[in-house]
Structure 1
């Protein structure tokens, strides 16, 4: 799964990595992104790709419960189930996205002494996590809200010692096929064992309330 991650990049970095167009947005490095907060996503437009902001936790257009009463955990979707699951089925067909990330967290050890691991691309580049998006309207406030989820798959052999699931990572040559929905399940594979690296970080990140603007959260500890 992926329940916490980071987005630390400049506009030039994400623009070049994702082949984006449009004016430079005001980006802020974030080191402790939690579900239900806003995240950057890349989605396809009629002429190009754009960087948009979405609530992390997908809500389908037909969902009728007001946001303040919604308790769903839809920040991840299992790629094996998403094409047929009512919560994600429509988005799988027509509303694909990429979630750019500089890294993500997973934990090992007992619940009373969880050890956080920060996982990044071995080459230091951006990670491109496969995702789905949905435009949803709150029935109470009538506010239109862009929402998104990150797709997961079975862990690679390398990842399995940390967790039995991992995000689906896309390569640049797969971006068009994914975003256009010309490809699907065949892209939902574990990352190669040489693709990622990890180090243990401070247990301060065990709390979702740790400041998301604190770069020391991703620093290695012995």
Structure 2
């Protein structure tokens, strides 16, 4: 599961890293980003750009939002299928967070980054839908895979990290789906930095305030 991440890089660094020429947004507030907030995403629709998207796909008539999509089933689930084929994006991040259940109603918070890449990309999909006021809004979910390495000791899931040499393939809507699926399977051999932050009462972390059904 991925329910919070940190983006602390200057926007100019992000523009350079992703070769963004069409600047859909001119700045963002650096820091932690949460479900239901508007997060910066990189997409390609004729040209590379960065926009804000609300984190979470919403059900009609149901409370809460789905914030993650499982890589193993993303192309089969009606909620995600069309976006997976034609509306993939990247979410720039410096760190993501996870909580480990230590029992006794306590959770330990960890922050996770990459040893060799201070600014990296989480894989996501987006769509444009209508909000409660019937206005168009862009929404996004972050893709998760099974955890690898030391992450397994913290949580069974982790966000998909799209490597730098996979970014163009991932963003291009004309890429062969065969190769896109290979990206979903490439979330291995990441050199992770895992740092314990704090222990807190297991009331519920921010991501748990949002409906995250197991079938996704």
TM-score where L is the length of structure 1 = 0.81
C-alpha separation between the residues in 1 aligned to 2:184 and 2:190?
A: 17
Q: Secondary structure at the match of 2:29?
A: coil
Q: Which runs of 5+ in 1 are unaligned?
A: 210-222
Query: How do 1:32-71 residues align onto structure 2 when only pairs under 5 Å count?
Result: 33-46=33-46, 48-59=47-58, 65=60, 70-71=62-63
Q: Distance in 2 between matches of 1:101 and 1:165?
A: 17
| Number of equivalenced pairs | 199
Q: Is the 8 A contact 2:3 2:206 kept in 1?
A: no
Q: Closer, same or farther in 2 for the Cα pair 1:203/1:191, shift >3 Å?
A: same
Does the CA-based 8 Å contact 1:166-1:190 persist in structure 2?
Answer: no
Structure 2 contact 114–190 (Cα < 8 Å) conserved: no
Rounded to whole Å, the distance in 1 between the matches of 2:167 and 2:62 is 32
Aligned to 2:149: 157
**Secondary structure of the structure 1 residue equivalent to 2:28:** coil
How far apart are residue 91 of structure 1 and its match?
0.3
Alpha-carbon distance in structure 1 between the residues aligned to 2:104 and 2:15: 39
Q: Structure 2 unaligned segments of length 5 or more: list them.
A: 208-216
Matches within 5 A, 1:100-115: 100-108=92-100, 109-110=102-103, 112-115=105-108
- Checking the alignment, whether the CA contact within 8 Å between 1:41 and 1:98 is kept in structure 2 is yes
Give how far 1:85 is off. Answer: 0.2
1:176–1:194 distance in 2 versus 1, CA, 3 Å:
closer
Find the partner of 2:110 among 108, 117, 121: 117
> Which structure: greater strand fraction?
2
Does structure 1 residue 22 correspond to structure 2 residue 22?
yes
Q: Secondary structure at the match of 1:201?
A: strand
* Alignment partner of 1:171 is 2:172: no
Q: Distance in 2 between matches of 1:54 and 1:34?
A: 12
| Alpha-carbon shift at residue 207 of structure 1 (Å) | 5.1
Runs of 4+ in 1 over 3 A off after TM superposition: 190-194, 202-209
Q: Counterparts of 2:19 and 2:134 in 1: how far apart (Å)?
A: 33
